[in-house]
Structure 1
């Protein structure tokens, strides 16, 4: 699915409620020659965006008054790999604790590395 650990040619769902962080994630993912699905900023819109069949997803944990865990559960159910790109890693429940986490603010290398790692677990 990936070439040499990259995300080129893949669809990446971005779930992020902070405009500037979302814009940065979109820029990084687009520069890696991947297609961005979203960004979306709430659980409802993210679940709807799953109809576009993303290959991998990046989830912020805290989305305003919501958390992204219902999205994580649905991605897991569908077999879609994902990462948490968050500043609230301590909130991640045990069910998803083994998922790659990219602490914000994330560099290009860390974000692409985490997404690639989710696609190609060791």
Structure 2
């Protein structure tokens, strides 16, 4: 998948349990021309949202008492690239350690850049 035009025209799943961070990510991704799937704030809803066939996803690591790793595993199984938008990088397991990370709080350039790197990596 090409990212010549950034993420414009793509569907981006946003998994984030903090309302303000989710709102910021939605604004950044929408302003970049992508369609936002979500945001969703738990593993169950995120797995259901995969039925919308996102092109790429942004995952917070810690979702309340859950982690997003079951979502990451399913995205990986489906061949959907993703990033971790998180402050909890030390929690990321080795199997997902090579995924792009966007440290929160993040600017538009960092979020869109990380999503583009994920798409370019063909993860």
Q: Which TM-score applies when normalising by structure 2?
A: 0.96
5+ residue gaps, structure 2: none
Aligned residues, how many? 122
CA distance in 2, matches of 1:104, 1:30: 18
User: Secondary structure of the residue that 1:120 maps to in structure 2?
Assistant: helix
Would the aligned equivalents of 2:3 and 2:116 in 1 still touch at CA under 8 Å? Answer: no
Q: Which TM-score applies when normalising by structure 1?
A: 0.97
- Structure 1 counterpart of 2:10: 10
Would the aligned equivalents of 2:87 and 2:103 in 1 still touch at CA under 8 Å? Answer: yes
Q: 1:121: Cα distance to partner?
A: 1.8
The 5 Å alignment of 1:95-106 reads: 95-106=95-106
Aligned pair 1:52/2:52, yes or no? yes
- Structure 2 counterpart of 1:77: 77
Q: 1:34: Cα distance to partner?
A: 0.2
- Structure 1 counterpart of 2:107: 107
5+ residue gaps, structure 1: none
Cα distance change, pair 73–3 in 1 and its aligned pair in 2 (3 A): closer
Would the aligned equivalents of 2:3 and 2:120 in 1 still touch at CA under 8 Å? Answer: no
- Structure 1 counterpart of 2:31: 31
